[in-house]
Structure 1
Amino acid sequence: MTEQKGKKDKKDEIYNNLLRKSNEARTIRKIVMIISLVVVLIVAGIALTGYLYIQSSLKPVSPGSKEMKKVEIPIGSSASSIGQILEKQGIIKSELIFKYYVKLNNETGFQAGTYDLSPSMTIDQIITNLKKGKVLKQAKLKFTIPEGLQLDEIAKIIAKHTDYDQAEILKKLDDPKYIKSLMEKYPHLLTDKLLEKDIKHPLEGYLFPATYSFYEEKPTLDQLVNKMLVKTNSIIAKYEDQMNKKKLTIHETLTMASLIEEEATEKADRHKISSIFYNRIKVGMPLQTDPTVLYSLGKHKERVTYKDTEVVSPYNTYQVKGLPPSPISNAGETSIEAAINPEKTDYLYFLAAKKTGKVYYSKSLQEHNKLKEKYITNVDND
């Protein structure tokens, strides 16, 4: 009897264990099902939210609006920069959605110009308008800022075409309060770097060289400056991915580009000059570029003397290694691109020969001095 009872108890224990495991398995399956359901609901919720966001972004900002806004699209604007302009003006809801909508629909052929656009327009209507390229009316004010100009020269051009005085313009462009207000408008382009103590002019190199048209009778100085900064922003946006890969900041890029712009001649290869500057930085050599000496002196001279190179200034690259604190002039797109993509060379020196008009590159000081003797010294003694 005792043996039979023991066998029965063992069977009951096995049965109870199986029953408990079965219950645990059912509980686990329920938990898994609940978690899976929650995950599905979360994913569905995210997808639905994304769908609704995209749908909303594709709709007009204000369907019933009768307001018309003048929107200028600069030459060479990308879909991304156009989207930024339209979003800032309140014509579309999302620059990002606009950019991808344009790409997915393979929309191209946008025309530069000033357009009359409304927040009540659909994205398709806006795209149609931008592809027609119809400028509203004749510009009331138009001026050109050439490449390689310093801020005081740009101020002089603005003064020539407006009622503003050159000194008045420079005072505003150097005003820390005004710079801070611009930094709020263009946080990606203008950083705290501009207000560091060694910076001579905060906006030096940031006002892009181009032809600017204005349709107001008397645009404010702020309008003039903003249009130039928008242009700079649109150019920089085209190279942002490349700059990120090279770990270059916008400030560094514009500073290097300004040196290339100042040193380059028509026949000079900006990419080779760019490589020389980067090669010098890499081996710890000073850049020793004459335009930085002239910028330090605040003068425009044909020739830099030995005494000039001794000027004490954070911009004097004969005395201070590395890049100067900020750009020394405004650079064109070609120089900006060269600053980002230097040619791969072993050159450390270059000189522009007056007699031949060519630019000669060398890897050693000895080779450079020979070229200098041949194309510079001998020519001067003739």
Structure 2
Amino acid sequence: MTEYGRGPGSQPWHPEDPLYGDRAWDGAQQSSWDSYGGQQQPQEPYYPQQPQHPQHPQQPQEHQQTPYGNWDGSQGGTDQFYGAGVGDPYGQQPPPNPYGQQPDYYGTPDAYPPPRPQRQRTAEPGPDPDTGWDPGPDEGEHAFFADRDEDDDDDEPPTRGGRRSGRSRRGSVKRKSGCACMVVALVLTGGVGTGAYYGYTFYNSHFADAPDYAGQGTGEVHIEIPPESTVSQMGNILKREGVVKSHDAFVAAARNNTKAQTIQAGTYVLRKEMSAAAALTMMLDPASQSGLIIPEGMRASAIYKLIDEKTESPAGTTKKAAKSANLALPEWAGGKVEGFLFPAKYSVGKKTEPKAVLKEMVKRSKAEFKKVESDAKKVGLTPFEVLTVASLIQAEAQDDEDFGKVSRVVYNRLKPDNTATNGKLDFDSTINYALGRSTLDVTVNDTKLKSPYNTYRHPGLPPGPIGNPGHQAIDAALNPTKGDWLYFVTVKPGDTRFSVTLEEHNEHVREFNEEQRKKRENDG
């Protein structure tokens, strides 16, 4: 496309020519020479052809440069996009331009492409050889926080000399730069604070000592350690109850003490705010264990009183619970509690419910009596009868070697062919149980007591256990010592005499009576 009123020339165009690199409306670059050196024909404009008027004298153009060059990427002025020096196609005379620029002949609302506001900047000497743009003395490399989009503040039209009216651009940049600095400073401060927090946490968890109290603590607190508790679980319980300051402190103390693994389930009387080491030492001391110890052979009535005292419950509370509560007794118990309160150490504190203690005892007995259930047939008895025999052995035997012999006497007397006693056991312990006492002075009149537990009157075993036997008595009931003994008497502590005949037994009884006479004289 050539200029209106300008004939095609034969000389090549120079890049400094205002129309060099001019693009047509379809975006193709135009030149008066085709790509093979041939001259192109003038192209028709998209609007109807009008009579041409003489070309206005071309005004000298003032090359206006932007930081990014012209819209078409050339180095020309701001009006080159529309074709600098083109004539008035409609025969209109352009108004004089007071600033020496060419008029915009297509600056109408319907023109295409729409005009885009151009930033005007006076060219400075020393253009870049590649782009023709020199940033100038104050447009070079900015500080990082001063950089911003140039179009952010271009809402106001440029005035003469390229300056804007209204607020100061430099002041706006400073205010925005200050905000940016503040935001980044806050972000950096937050990052440093977060890093310091995680660093402190990492140090405490990996290198610093666990929080711990100092000293032996104060007051008194009952701590219940459930069965099969680990050291870590113990630490959590102690921390929750306020005994130690942290779980880790107790675990660390236990790691340094080889006896820590021997701590068993139970109730411990400790103090508030103790050091972890002091708490561990106290738990390893048997005196700190708030346990209820049930000795072998103790009767249920005596156990009820111990539980009431230990739990600080009103008298009779445990006895009522034994009658009304569901203790989960085995079926072969026949609803009887006696004999199923297994002798052992139980964890009992002030806040423990008596019913809970009874349930724990029955649970323990059921676990211990599995052998009774499996081996009872070997001795020709039921599990309940074996438990009854064990209770008799527990009440009558004094020394360890006596348990098996007493058991043999019971089985020998229960034999159908026993004509010496005719199936009667003749045990003083059964009369004492019926009378609710414990003594060696059983008179002839006591043997006439009307009670199913009086084995002097009733042959065979009593209706049930007369106490709560332990391991040794149960084992003796299942494994009696071989022998023919039908009689025995404890002449004095540690001296139990066993005999086969009644005559021998009566001689041992005379010696027993003599020992009792001496004892009364010494006591009187």
TM-score by length of 1: 0.58
Q: Which amino acid aligns with 1:212?
A: Y
Aligned to 2:508, the other structure's residue is in SS state helix
Match of 2:486 among 348, 360, 373: 348
Contact 2:226 2:266 in 1 (8 A): no
Match of 2:296 among 144, 147, 152: 147
Q: Which amino acid aligns with 1:339?
A: A
Partner of residue 21, structure 2: none
Aligned to 2:342, the other structure's residue is in SS state coil
| Higher RCO (CA 8 Å, separation ≥ 6 residues) | 1
Contact 1:114 1:136 in 2 (8 A): no
Please list every run of 5 or more consecutive structure 1 residues that lacks an aligned counterpart in the other structure: 1-69, 75-109, 117-131, 195-201
Distance 1:229 1:144 in 2: 15
Partner of residue 72, structure 1: 227
Alignment of 1:167-182 (within 5 A): 167-175=316-324, 178=325, 181-182=326-327
Distance 1:346 1:157 in 2: 40
Match of 1:220 among 353, 356, 381: 353
Distance 2:508 2:263 in 1: 54
Matched, 1:159 2:308: yes
Aligned to 1:164, the other structure's residue is in SS state coil
Distance 1:115 1:253 in 2: 43
Partner of residue 327, structure 1: 465
Alignment of 1:257-336 (within 5 A): 257-266=390-399, 269-282=402-415, 283=418, 284-336=422-474
Q: Which amino acid aligns with 2:411?
A: Y
Using the TM superposition, give the Cα deviation of residue 115 of structure 1 relative to its aligned residue in structure 2, in angstroms. Answer: 12
Using the TM superposition, give the Cα deviation of residue 297 of structure 1 relative to its aligned residue in structure 2, in angstroms. Answer: 1.6
Distance 1:192 1:320 in 2: 22
Contact 1:72 1:115 in 2 (8 A): no
Using the TM superposition, give the Cα deviation of residue 330 of structure 1 relative to its aligned residue in structure 2, in angstroms. Answer: 1.0
Distance 2:386 2:432 in 1: 21
Aligned to 2:316, the other structure's residue is in SS state helix
Q: Which amino acid aligns with 2:465?
A: P
Distance 1:329 1:293 in 2: 13
Please list every run of 5 or more consecutive structure 2 residues that lacks an aligned counterpart in the other structure: 1-224, 237-260, 270-289, 519-524
Aligned to 2:476, the other structure's residue is in SS state helix
Q: Map Cα deviations across residues 70-113 of structure 1 (whole Å, 9 max, x no partner).
A: 85269xxxxxxxxxxxxxxxxxxxxxxxxxxxxxxxxxxx9xx9
Distance 1:333 1:312 in 2: 32
Partner of residue 334, structure 2: 193
Partner of residue 377, structure 1: 513
Matched, 1:367 2:504: yes
Distance 1:318 1:73 in 2: 47
**Structure 1 136/208 Cα, relative in aligned 2: closer, same or farther at 3 Å?**
closer
Contact 1:261 1:331 in 2 (8 A): yes
Match of 1:338 among 460, 466, 476: 476
User: After TM superposition, which residue ranges in structure 1, 4 or more long, deviate above 2 angstroms?
Assistant: 70-74, 113-116, 132-141, 189-194, 238-250, 298-302, 377-382
Q: % of aligned pairs identical?
A: 34
Q: Map Cα deviations across residues 189-243 of structure 1 (whole Å, 9 max, x no partner).
A: 343623xxxxxxx2111101111125x7622222101111121112112444322
**Structure 1 362/220 Cα, relative in aligned 2: closer, same or farther at 3 Å?**
same
**Structure 1 377/303 Cα, relative in aligned 2: closer, same or farther at 3 Å?**
closer
Matched residue pairs, number?
246
Contact 2:266 2:291 in 1 (8 A): no
Matched, 1:208 2:353: no
Distance 1:169 1:315 in 2: 24
Using the TM superposition, give the Cα deviation of residue 314 of structure 1 relative to its aligned residue in structure 2, in angstroms. Answer: 0.6
Distance 2:443 2:306 in 1: 29
Computing the radius of gyration from Cα coordinates, the structure with the larger value is: 2
**Structure 1 361/192 Cα, relative in aligned 2: closer, same or farther at 3 Å?**
closer
Match of 2:375 among 212, 218, 242: 242
Please identify which structure carries the higher helix content. 1
Contact 1:114 1:135 in 2 (8 A): no
Distance 1:265 1:339 in 2: 15
Q: CA RMSD in A?
A: 3.2
Using the TM superposition, give the Cα deviation of residue 142 of structure 1 relative to its aligned residue in structure 2, in angstroms. Answer: 1.4
Distance 1:148 1:276 in 2: 19
Distance 2:312 2:306 in 1: 11
Partner of residue 494, structure 2: 357
Distance 2:388 2:235 in 1: 33
**Structure 1 155/335 Cα, relative in aligned 2: closer, same or farther at 3 Å?**
same
